[in-house]
């Protein structure tokens, strides 16, 4: 049987699908077909769909690790939306996807998500972490420079600017921090010594921690950044970053040497950053493609083929070198079209595996035998809660003057400035944007976080506003519709029959009790691990 | 602090460090990490710990806890602990009297009569200096002992103390080791490179209200019965937790939930119930947000919390300066004086450092001109701090400002001097190493080689 046909069959057997088809047929309250697997898994066979899978499953087979099952459609629509656009699907989006009978609906969804504006918002958030976009202490970009820089990053992602161009523009930028947003790359480095800049460039674009390199190698790379000038203007907090031809290296300064050991030849009137950028983005440069391929993989699959993704060094080998080589080649042949890589990974069976492991083999996670559980990032989590409850967050900033007020309808993933924050974002591990390290974002659960979601006035006030979706258009007082509405809005799936039975008991038509029950159900679903985690 | 407990904590830590940051070269499965991390952890929550190898505090500790009173915005030194009645109206404005204290020769501002009666319990540092007049930078310097710039953002004193005296040193309480009453300072990231796990727990709410609604612990309008019913519903419905109950991530998740409910429904959260205190004592502290925060801080320290910060707002008095301090200083006087007396009565002052300071002082010369119309600006050249308890002597004055309170005249004290002195009393070696998530070598306080100005530790009062 062809894989496509198998998977079609699998979707029909998907319990969330069954439940919805059956509902659509309007067959009342007859018992649903019994689900043999959890609502999180599909019964389809796990078959390779693209070259990634051959490499991942081949290695799993050699190691004797059975992969997880395929994830259910309900899990997929939620996972794909969270991973690609940092946004929970609405109840309507989830329902539409679940009811869609197109066998290619998963890849169609992937294509749609990659074109959404939120793609730019979400990945600009990620890049702003790495590029340390914040207006104040200790990265003093200043508010209007932050807005300009963030918009530049976001626009580039929305337009799918080729990644080599993105990197080159950042590295060779010159001009005013307000008018040429990309010069803020240099202003967001703590310290202006060439070595500090070289370390930041190595971390960002080579995934390497240059502070651990041999001294000479770092000095050789630093030389490319030794002729930068900075000057202020008559405008408050404006700063020009420029190539300073007056800073001619003398005999004592270390010569510019590429990190691979090749000495660079730079005419005295040329900006050495241009020479470095040309070397860096050359398709033959192994560092450049490897870093971004590995990062994109880790962003979507929770860990790098080389892990940590920003600690690439010879003694930290990839767990599956073939996968990296494949992604690197694909990226070069696609002329650095990052969405090509996203699409390839997202369409793989490997990405679409369930998070429920097929075995407890200790090497399973590092070899991608299942999709890893990851708690939602702070911004994504609060946006999801706001979307479900129809509420907003208020962000303001009293310093530096003038005060900044963020419009109420702006989502947290689209906050430009790392200095504008809230106690929720702080509590749930939003990074301070001090170091540019991936690990600065902390998504581990804490008791204080649990207290906040379980019992804070902040969340309780939002929950009080929860309404069953008005678009349901069903008779009032039908608890089933309300329950399904909440399940679709919060968990992006229909409730199972067992869940319906549990919940229905607490719903009585009419009266305040019913309202309270609705709030309590929303509370319980928002406090479930199924909601707080990508799975 | 039991040194045995400290070293046990240390020996467990490497596994969790790998789990938290993936620093280890060799891959360690999450399952294995959790097994190592949790066995014998006796109720300690893996994920709430800093996850770094913390050296045991080897030095003898005289102080166990710190109450930091953060005078947010920068209080005037002239109007509080460094009065200059001789300097004339342009400097004193209407507050032109100094009052005697219960220690011969020590005079303080006229709006602090209750603190005047407690002067034997605290020392005044009148030569504090760092020279910076920007809130953000000065707040960082006063609370981290570091200069801004360079590649690192250093943790605040609270994060460092709760690192050395918190979970990794055997802090077993459900109450987190670093509490902020009631809101975070925000822009100044208290945890620095230690990361979000070292951040304080901010209570939210208002202890000055009839019920102190600590965010997350005390919910308004939800009965205990409904809490229990909700929790039961949650457990019945969590599909992911049921199918993956052994996943290490979810094991930690479940433990967090258990601890959360111990605080919500159990006895641990009762520490925040100020109605357990006698009415007359509550009155003595003052029924204000600040007064009741001081009382709250005492209750927390009494139950073993090593670091409590009271972020006391409203001292950035560019305009209406004298009207504001006339309103606020009596409130501060009441709260702080009662705190010192109460700690002393309960025998807690010997082991509890009380540290009063803002990020800087205020312009000694009153700005009479518009738009200030009698205001005071920022002044980092010289300002005052107050230290009491935990091994600091009372009834002393260290250093002096000049006749008009504009510069240090005698014995400059830099933030790193004061902070190193507190660490020494807490048994934290100021010259020791601090754990770093990227394994860098970082000292607890800067050394002279770091290019930081120093005046030496406060041996005069230790």
Mean pLDDT of A498-505: 88
What is the average pLDDT value for chain B, to the nearest integer? 86
What one-character-per-residue DSSP string does A173-184 give?
Answer: --EETTTSGGGH
Contact between B204 and A456 using a beta-carbon 8 Å cutoff: yes
Number of domains forming the structure of chain B: 3
Residue B225: give the domain boundaries: 221-272
DSSP three-state, residue B105: coil
Share of chain B above pLDDT 70, in %: 86
Two tokens at A96? 């539409």
Tell me which residue in B22, B201, B440 faces A307 most closely, judged by beta carbons.
B22
Q: Are residues B188 and B311 in the same domain?
A: yes
- Position B241 in a domain: yes
The answer to whether B230 contacts A520, with C-beta atoms less than 8 Å apart, is yes
Give how far A422 is from chain B: nearest CA, Å.
8
Whether A22 has a pLDDT exceeding 70, the answer reads no
DSSP three-state, residue B123:
strand
- Under 8 Å between Cβ of A232 and A238: yes
B chain contacts of residue A355, beta-carbon cutoff 8 Å = 240, 244
Looking at the fold, whether A396 and A514 belong to one and the same domain comes out as yes
Residue A488 located in a structural domain: yes
pLDDT at A2: 39
* d(CA B89, nearest CA chain A) in Å: 32
Contact call for B238 and A445, based on CB within 8 A: no
Lowest-confidence pick of A241-245, A282-286, B215-219: B215-219
Residue B236 is nearest to which of A444, A455, A502, comparing CB atoms? Answer: A502
Residue B177 lies in a domain: yes
Write down the pLDDT at residue A38.
76
B126 pLDDT tier (thresholds 50, 70, 90)? very high
Same domain, B343 and B298: yes
Instruction: Indicate whether B116 pLDDT > 70.
Output: yes
Give residue-wise pLDDT tens across range B127-142. Answer: 999 999 988 889 999 9
In a domain, A470, yes or no: yes
Q: Provide the sign of the torsion angle of the four alpha carbons A460, A461, A462, A464, taken in this order.
A: positive
Query: Do B313 and B249 belong to one domain?
Result: no
How many angstroms separate the CA of residue B251 from the nearest CA in chain A?
10
Residue B410, pLDDT above cutoff 50: yes
Whole-angstrom distance, CA of residue B377 vs CA of residue B359: 13
Give me the interface pTM, i.e. the ipTM: 0.87
Query: Higher pLDDT residue, B245 or A75?
Result: A75
Q: What's residue A412's pLDDT?
A: 97
- Residue A99 inside a domain? The answer is no
Total domains in chain A come to: 3
The 10s digit of each residue's pLDDT in B57-85 is 556 799 999 999 999 999 999 999 999 99
Looking at B251, B272, B293, the residue that finishes a domain is B272
Residue B78 confidence (pLDDT): 98
Mutate to test the interface with B, among A499, A519, A524 (most CBs of B within 10 A): A524
User: What CA–CA distance (Å, rounded) separates A253 from A223?
Assistant: 8
A447 and B236 within 8 Å at the Cβ level: the answer is no
CA atoms within 13 A on the CB side of B181: 31
Q: Both B188 and B249 in a single domain?
A: no
Same domain, A275 and A298: no
Let me know if residue B421 belongs to a domain: no
Tell me the nearest-neighbour CA distance from A337 into chain B, angstroms: 30
* Residue B146 lies inside a defined structural domain of this protein: yes
- In this complex, which of B21, B48, B137 lies closest to A439 when CB atoms are compared? B21
User: For residue A200, is it within any domain?
Assistant: yes
Same domain as A293, residue A263: no
In the numeric block, the tokens 């560019």 are attached to B318
Would residue B188 count as lying in a domain?
yes
Q: Which of A214-228, A446-460, B39-53 has the lowest mean pLDDT?
A: B39-53
- DSSP tag of B204: -
Residue B456 has pLDDT above 80, yes or no: yes
Residues A383 and A530 in one domain: yes
**What local confidence, expressed as pLDDT, does residue A41 receive?**
94
Residue A454 in this model has a pLDDT that exceeds 60: yes
Q: Which of A527-531, B157-161, B241-245, B322-326 has the lowest average pLDDT?
A: B241-245
Q: Which of A40, A8, A33 is nearest to A18 (CA)?
A: A33
Residue A525, Cβ density class (10 Å: 0-12 exposed, 13-18 middle, ≥19 buried): buried
What average pLDDT does the segment A497-521 reach? Answer: 77
Q: B182 and B281, same structural domain? A: yes
CA B434 to chain centre: 19
Claim to verify: residue A328 and residue A398 sit in the same structural domain:
no
- Among A29-43, A99-113, B281-295, which stretch is predicted with the lowest mean pLDDT? A29-43
- Give the nearest partner residue to B47 out of A211, A362, A446, using CB atoms: A446
Contacts of B223 in chain A (CB under 8 A): none
The verdict on A319 and A417 lying in the same domain is no
State whether A499 and B30 contact (CB < 8 Å).
no
Helix (H/G/I), strand (E/B), else coil: B38: helix
DSSP A265-327: ---TTS-HHHHHHHHHT-TT-HHHHHHHHHHHHHHHHSS-SSSSTT---TTS--S-HHHHHHH
Q: Do B250 and A373 touch (CB under 8 A)?
A: yes
| Range in B25-39, B182-196, B292-306 the model is least confident about | B25-39
Q: A348: Cβ–Cβ under 8 A, 6 or more apart, which residues?
A: A49, A50, A52, A53, A56
Is it the case that residue B47 has pLDDT exceeding 50? no
Task: Identify all chain A residues contacting B30, using CB atoms and an 8 Å cutoff.
Answer: 365
pLDDT attached to residue A469 = 52
Chain A residue closest to B223 (CA)? A455
DSSP string, A404-461: EE--TT--GGG---TT---HHHHHTT---SSS--GGGS-----HHHHHHHHH-HHHHH
For A323-359, what is each residue's pLDDT tens digit?
999 999 999 999 999 999 999 999 999 999 999 999 9
Report the C-alpha gap between A426 and A381 in whole angstroms.
12
Give the confidence band of A137 by pLDDT, cuts at 50, 70, 90.
confident
Closest Cβ–Cβ partner in A137, A502, A530 for B240: A530
- Residue pLDDT, tens place only, B296-330: 999 999 999 999 999 999 999 999 999 999 999 99
**Rounded CA gap, A129 and A147, in Å?**
14
pLDDT for B189 equals 62
By mean pLDDT, which of A312-316, A333-337, A479-483, B351-355 is the weakest?
A479-483
Count of Cβ atoms closer than 10 Å to residue A61 Cβ: 11
Do residues A437 and A414 both lie within one domain? yes
Count of CA atoms in the C-beta half-sphere (13 A) of B46: 29
Same-domain status, B255 and B177:
no
In a domain, B44, yes or no: yes
Q: Is residue A353 part of a domain?
A: no
Q: Do A419 and B238 touch (CB under 8 A)?
A: no
Q: Which of A373, A399, A521 sits opposite B187 (nearest CB)?
A: A399
Cβ-Cβ contacts under 8 Å, B45 against chain A:
446-447
Long-range interactions of A289-293: CB distance < 8 A, separation 24+:
A289/A328, A289/A331, A289/A332, A290/A207, A290/A324, A290/A328, A291/A205, A291/A206, A291/A207, A291/A208, A292/A163, A292/A205, A292/A331, A292/A338, A293/A324, A293/A327, A293/A328, A293/A331, A293/A341
- pLDDT, residue B52, reads 60
A3-21: per-residue pLDDT in tens? 333 333 333 333 343 333 3
Residue A422 reports pLDDT greater than 50? yes
3-state class (DSSP) for residue A228:
strand
> Quick check: is B422 in a domain?
no
- Do A450 and B260 count as a contact with CB atoms less than 8 A apart? yes
Nearest CB partner across the interface for B256, out of A315, A373, A447: A447
Does B372 share its domain with B400? yes
Q: Please indicate whether residue B35 or residue A523 has the higher confidence score (pLDDT).
A: A523
Chain B residue numbers touching A362 (CB-CB < 8 A): 29, 31-32
Q: What is the DSSP letter of A88?
A: P
Bridging pattern class, strands B178-181 and B201-202: parallel
User: Is A400 within the bounds of a domain?
Assistant: yes
Identify the top-confidence range among A22-31, A103-112, A426-435.
A103-112
Distance CA B76, CA B83 (A): 10
Distance between CA atoms of A465 and A388, rounded to whole angstroms? 9
What pLDDT score was predicted for residue A510?
47
Cβ–Cβ contacts within 10 Å for residue B270, how many? 12
Could you report the per-residue pLDDT of B97-106, keeping only the tens digit for each? 999 999 999 9
Task: Give the confidence band of A183 by pLDDT, cuts at 50, 70, 90.
Answer: very high
Q: Which of B188, B195, B438 sits opposite A442 (nearest CB)?
A: B195
The SS3 call for residue A17 is helix
**Nearest-by-CA chain A residue for B249:** A373
| Residue to test with chain A: of B166, B211, B243, B440, most A Cβ within 10 A | B243
Contacts of B241 in chain A (CB under 8 A): 528-530
Average of per-residue pLDDT across A23-49: 61
Of A199, A450, A533, the CB nearest to B256: A450
CA distances from A402 to A143, A334, A422, B140, B352 (A): 9, 45, 19, 22, 40
Q: Which of B366, B392, B408 is where one domain is finished?
A: B408
A129-138, B353-362, B386-395, B399-408 — which is least confidently predicted? A129-138
Parallel, antiparallel, or unpaired: how do β-strands A374-375 and A533-534 relate?
antiparallel
Question: Which residues constitute the domain of residue A316?
Answer: 286-338
- What's residue A16's pLDDT? 40
Contacts of B252 in chain A (CB under 8 A): 444-445
Average pLDDT score over residue span A185-207: 94
**Does residue B184 share a domain with residue B121?**
yes
Mutate to test the interface with A, among B256, B439, B441 (most CBs of A within 10 A): B256
pLDDT at residue A506, as a whole number? 72
**B135 & B201 share domain:** yes
Residues of A in contact with B149 (CB under 8 A): 138, 190-191
For residues A425-447, give the mean pLDDT.
91
Cross-chain residue pair A440–B195, CB shorter than 8 Å: yes
Average pLDDT, chain A: 89
Q: How high is the pLDDT of residue A305?
A: 98
Contact A450 B257 (CB under 8 A): yes
When pLDDT is averaged across residues B48-52 and rounded to a whole number, the result is 53
Residues B169 and B281 in one domain: yes
Is residue B453 included in any domain, yes or no? no
Q: Is the pLDDT of residue B43 over 70?
A: no
Question: In terms of CA atoms, which chain A residue is nearest residue B202?
Answer: A423
The total of other beta-carbon atoms located within 10 Å of residue B314's CB is 16
Supply A64's token pair.
């004797």
Closest CA to B151 of A4, A34, A195, A295: A195
A264 and A189 in one domain? Answer: yes
Among the ranges given (A5-9, A458-462, B377-381), the one the predictor scored with the smallest mean pLDDT: A5-9
In a domain, A424, yes or no: yes
Closest chain A residue to the Cα of B256, Cα to Cα? A447
- Lowest-pLDDT range, A138-152, B38-52, B59-73, B350-364? B38-52
Question: For A353-372, what is the mean pLDDT?
Answer: 96
Residues of chain A in contact with residue B199, where contact means CB-CB under 8 angstroms, are 426-427
| CB within 8 Å: A535 and B226 | no
Same domain, A301 and A220: no
Express as a percent the part of chain B with pLDDT over 90: 68
Higher-scoring residue by pLDDT: A272, A401:
A272
Residue A523 shares a structural domain with residue A423: yes
Q: Does some domain include residue A530?
A: yes
Whole-model pTM above 0.90?
Answer: no
| Residue B24: per-residue pLDDT | 32
CB burial of A149-163 (b: ≥16 within 10 Å; e: otherwise) equals bbebbbebbbebbbb
Q: Which tokens is B197 given?
A: 């796990």
Tell me, rounded to whole angstroms, the distance of Cα B150 from its chain centroid.
25
């Amino acid at each position: 049987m062809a894989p496509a046909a198998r998977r079609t069959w699998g979707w029909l057997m998907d319990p969330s699908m069954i439940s919805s088809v059956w509902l659509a047929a309007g067959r009342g309250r007859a018992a649903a077909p019994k689900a043999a697997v959890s609502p999180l898994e599909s019964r389809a066979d796990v078959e390779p769909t693209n070259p990634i899978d051959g490499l991942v499953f081949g290695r799993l087979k050699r190691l004797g690790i059975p992969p997880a099952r395929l994830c259910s459609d309900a899990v997929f629509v939620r996972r794909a939306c969270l991973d690609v656009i940092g946004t929970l699907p609405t109840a309507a989006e989830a329902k539409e996807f679940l009811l869609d009978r197109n066998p290619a609906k998963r890849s169609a969804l992937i294509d749609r998500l990659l074109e959404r504006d939120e793609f730019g918002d979400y990945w600009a958030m990620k890049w702003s972490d790495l590029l340390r976009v914040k207006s104040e202490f200790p990265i003093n970009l200043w508010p209007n420079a932050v807005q300009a820089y963030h918009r530049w990053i976001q626009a580039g992602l929305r337009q799918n600017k080729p990644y080599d161009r993105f990197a080159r523009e950042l590295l060779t930028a010159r001009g005013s921090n307000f008018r040429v947003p990309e010069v803020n790359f240099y202003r967001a480095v703590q310290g202006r010594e060439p070595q500090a800049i070289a370390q930041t460039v190595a971390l960002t674009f080579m995934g390497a921690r240059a502070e651990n390199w041999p001294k000479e190698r770092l000095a050789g790379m630093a030389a490319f950044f030794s002729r930068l000038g900075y000057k202020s203007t008559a405008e408050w907090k404006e700063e020009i970053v420029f190539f300073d031809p007056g800073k001619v290296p003398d005999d004592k300064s270390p010569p510019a040497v590429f990190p691979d050991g090749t000495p660079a030849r730079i005419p005295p009137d040329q900006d050495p950053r241009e020479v470095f950028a040309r070397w860096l983005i050359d398709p033959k440069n192994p560092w450049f493609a490897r870093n971004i391929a590995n990062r994109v993989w880790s962003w979507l699959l929770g860990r790098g083929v080389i892990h940590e993704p920003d600690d690439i060094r010879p003694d930290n080998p990839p767990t599956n070198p073939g996968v990296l080589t494949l992604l690197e080649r694909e990226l070069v042949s696609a002329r650095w079209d990052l969405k090509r890589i996203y699409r390839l990974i997202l369409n793989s069976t490997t990405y679409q595996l369930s998070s429920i492991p097929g075995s407890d083999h200790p090497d399973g996670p590092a070899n991608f035998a299942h999709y890893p559980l990851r708690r939602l990032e702070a911004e994504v989590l609060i946006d999801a809660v706001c979307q479900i409850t129809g509420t907003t967050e208020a962000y303001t900033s009293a310093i530096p003057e003038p005060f900044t007020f963020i419009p109420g309808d702006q989502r947290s993933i689209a906050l430009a400035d790392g200095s504008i924050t809230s106690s929720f974002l702080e509590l749930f591990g939003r990074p301070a944007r001090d170091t540019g390290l991936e690990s600065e974002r902390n998504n581990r659960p804490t008791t204080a976080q649990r207290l906040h979601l379980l019992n804070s006035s902040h969340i309780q006030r939002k929950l009080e506003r929860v309404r069953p979706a008005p678009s349901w258009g069903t008779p009032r007082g039908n608890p089933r519709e309300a329950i399904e509405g909440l399940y679709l809005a919060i968990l992006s799936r229909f409730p199972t029959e067992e869940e319906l039975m549990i919940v229905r008991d607490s719903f009585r038509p009419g009266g305040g009790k019913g309202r309270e029950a609705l709030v309590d159900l929303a509370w319980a679903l928002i406090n479930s691990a199924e909601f707080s985690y990508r799975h | 602090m039991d040194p045995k407990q400290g070293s046990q904590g240390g020996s467990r830590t490497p596994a969790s460090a790998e789990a938290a940051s993936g620093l280890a070269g060799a891959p360690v499965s999450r399952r294995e990490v959790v097994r190592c991390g949790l066995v014998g952890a006796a109720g300690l929550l893996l994920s709430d710990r800093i996850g770094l190898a913390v050296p045991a505090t080897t030095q003898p500790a005289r102080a166990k806890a710190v109450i930091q009173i953060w005078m947010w915005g920068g209080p005037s030194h002239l109007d509080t602990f460094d009065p200059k009645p001789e300097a004339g109206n342009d400097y004193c404005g209407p507050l032109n009297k100094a009052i005697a204290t219960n220690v011969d020769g020590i005079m303080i501002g006229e709006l602090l009569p209750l603190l005047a009666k407690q002067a034997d319990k605290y020392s005044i540092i009148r030569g504090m200096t760092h020279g910076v007049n920007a809130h953000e930078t000065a707040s960082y310097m006063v609370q981290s002992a570091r200069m801004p710039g360079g590649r690192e953002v250093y943790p605040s004193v609270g994060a460092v103390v709760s690192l050395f005296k918190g979970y990794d040193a055997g802090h077993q309480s459900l109450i987190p080791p670093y509490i902020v009453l009631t809101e975070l300072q925000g822009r100044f990231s208290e945890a620095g490179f230690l990361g979000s796990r070292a951040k304080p727990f901010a209570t939210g709410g208002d202890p000055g209200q009839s019920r102190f609604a600590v965010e997350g612990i005390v919910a308004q309008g939800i009965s205990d019965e409904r809490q229990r019913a909700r929790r039961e519903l949650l457990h019945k419905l969590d599909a992911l937790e049921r199918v993956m109950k052994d996943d290490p991530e979810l094991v930690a998740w479940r433990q967090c939930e258990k601890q959360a409910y111990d605080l919500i429904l159990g006895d641990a959260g009762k520490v925040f119930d100020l109605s357990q205190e006698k009415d007359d004592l509550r009155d003595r502290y003052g029924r204000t947000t600040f007064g009741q925060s001081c009382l709250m801080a005492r209750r927390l320290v009494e139950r073993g919390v090593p670091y409590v910060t009271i972020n006391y707002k409203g001292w950035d008095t560019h305009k209406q300066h004298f009207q504001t301090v006339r309103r606020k200083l009596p409130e501060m006087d009441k709260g702080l004086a009662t705190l010192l007396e109460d700690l002393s009565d309960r025998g807690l002052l010997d082991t509890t450092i009380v540290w009063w300071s803002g990020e800087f002082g205020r312009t000694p010369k009153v700005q009479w001109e518009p738009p200030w119309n009698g205001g005071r600006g920022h002044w980092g050249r010289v300002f005052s701090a107050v230290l009491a308890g935990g091994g600091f002597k009372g009834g002393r004055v260290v250093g002096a400002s000049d006749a008009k309170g504009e510069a240090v005249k005698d014995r400059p004290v830099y933030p790193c001097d004061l902070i190193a002195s507190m660490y020494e009393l807490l048994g934290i070696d100021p010259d020791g190493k601090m754990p770093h998530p990227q394994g860098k070598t970082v000292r607890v306080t800067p050394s002279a080689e770091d290019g930081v100005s120093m005046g030496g530790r406060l041996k005069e009062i230790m």
